Structure 1
Amino acid sequence: MSSRRGRVDLVRLRSELPAGLAAVLDQYERHLALERGHSPHTVRAYVGDVVALLGHLAADGPPARGDHALGALDLAALRSWLADQHAAGAGRTTLARRAASARTFTAWAARAGHLAADPGPRLAAPRPHRKLPAVLHREQADAAMEAAQSGAAEGDPVALRDQAVVELLYATGVRVSELCGLDIDDVDYSRRLVRVLGKGSRERAVPFGQPAERAVRRWLSEGRPALVTAGSLAALFLGARGGRLDPRMARRIVHDTVGAVPDAADMGPHGLRHSAATHLLEGGADLRTVQELLGHATLATTQLYTHVTVERLKAIHDRTHPRS
């Protein structure tokens, strides 16, 4: 099923939910957006999983009404839903994500009084496969930055923006949504820090180096004035029509820049984020520091990058050691 077809099916399924379940879902969506401060993309993902769960619940039980709308949502119902997902071809990673979404929902529903007890903690699901992210070698990262600099050499405003985008992404490891949300005043040149609003509306300060500073300063002095409009407001990075840079365009910028490097993996901004974290660890940074720089809520997420560096060390050892 295509992602577009899947979204259409979820919209239809949501419209067919009984009134009681629909009301609970609306409350949960507001909770995610307003109280938890999740991004629209994250809210859609959580809500989509819960729509599927509630659709399964409605199909298996009597019409849900009022405060007892979730009365049938117990451990057996959660297991039955995951079993149906597995039978439909969902893989381990998908099942693990949907189980996590269900646990988040049931925890909220219990706190909100929609469930007498939370069945989520007893729900087991297969552990997802941890796929190691593709990263650039240091030489490839240097080559990508040089390609962006070469493109900006003649002073074209869009090329100047593109260079500043890739330099700042690689220098800081920020998420693409965080980069596109930056305003001009979020950059502190005296201390070379950028103030970022991350997931859950958590703010952090991330340092950057001289190459990124030079690229951003040149974009602001020579490139941005050529694209700015009345609707640009304080946005740091602009699209060709003067609006705030869209994350999709930022992905295209990174894709094209890295694509100019021979043998480099195909990647977008998240690949540069992975590369920045890996290079920091390879350079001697500790996990806690990298966790803070990347804005990870838990150290377990950051630990993925230690596997990347170990795998690269093993590859080098196998290729170079005479008795490997």
Structure 2
Amino acid sequence: MDHHLLAIRVFNRVVETGGFTRAADSLRMPKATVTKLIQNLEDHLQTKLFQRTTRSVSVTPEGECYYRRTVKWLADLEQMEGCMTESQSAPQGVLRIDVGGGTAKHVLLPALREFLERYPQIQIDLGVGDRNIDLINDSADCVIRSGPLADSTLIARRLFDLEWVTCASPDYLARYGTPKHPAELEQGYPLTHYRHAVNDRVLPLRFVDRGKTMELLYRYQVSVNEGNALLASALAGLGIIQTLRFMAEPHLQSGELVSVLSDWQPPGENMFLVYPSNRHLSAKLRVFIEWAVERFNS
């Protein structure tokens, strides 16, 4: 029964990831093992679950029907087992969280000791970077990210509001002057832009003028694809940047950075904790969600 249950779990992961190799990587098992388990499952059911070619894997109609039934059954089984486990022990195990570099440095890591002291049997594997990951393919339990939620199969819990700030170093402003209007940035102000970590697209500076959003992408001398590096470039006097206020706030308070063009700042966003809707909440993930909402959504 354990072998058959493993085969069903592997089958579901192949469906969710869209391939045998990706499923094997996310489950951390050899691809040959995944292939053998699927073959055994198909032999047991006497049904072809996948159409396989050298280039692609697609679910058969029978496989799609089997997935819809087994995904709910597995969720119910995990919930039942989770309830039994939770009644006997404290939350434990490895919790995989993915978060942007700035949020990790300025928000999550300074507060994380409080969580670990409350739940000492939980081990955190923290993935840090500005690349938006796939929760299934990258085997993360949850991510902390800003902006709108594009995938309707995910659940997002709001943590806190974000505010943007445009800023530069005092040395930079002494050399180039302080702009009074966003349009002046075209007139010889060196800029540092953020470059998207996935598609390499350089993002414009955003401002709001009389209710209308302005997106300005003037010539820049530097672009970076990571939030902490963007902040470091401003501290080094390389250019005006636009960043999240919680990252810049300590440097604004100390005078290392100066806010400019504050009357034209774009509207803020929300920071969310995101996790799959079709995955049973393990005890470790559930308590982390509860702690994060309690700690940051106040």
User: Is TM-score (shorter-chain normalized) higher than 0.5?
Assistant: no
| TM-score under structure 2 length normalisation | 0.30
Q: Which has the higher contact order (CA 8 A, sep 6+)?
A: 2
Between Structure 1 and Structure 2, the one with more helix by share is 1
| TM-score under structure 1 length normalisation | 0.28
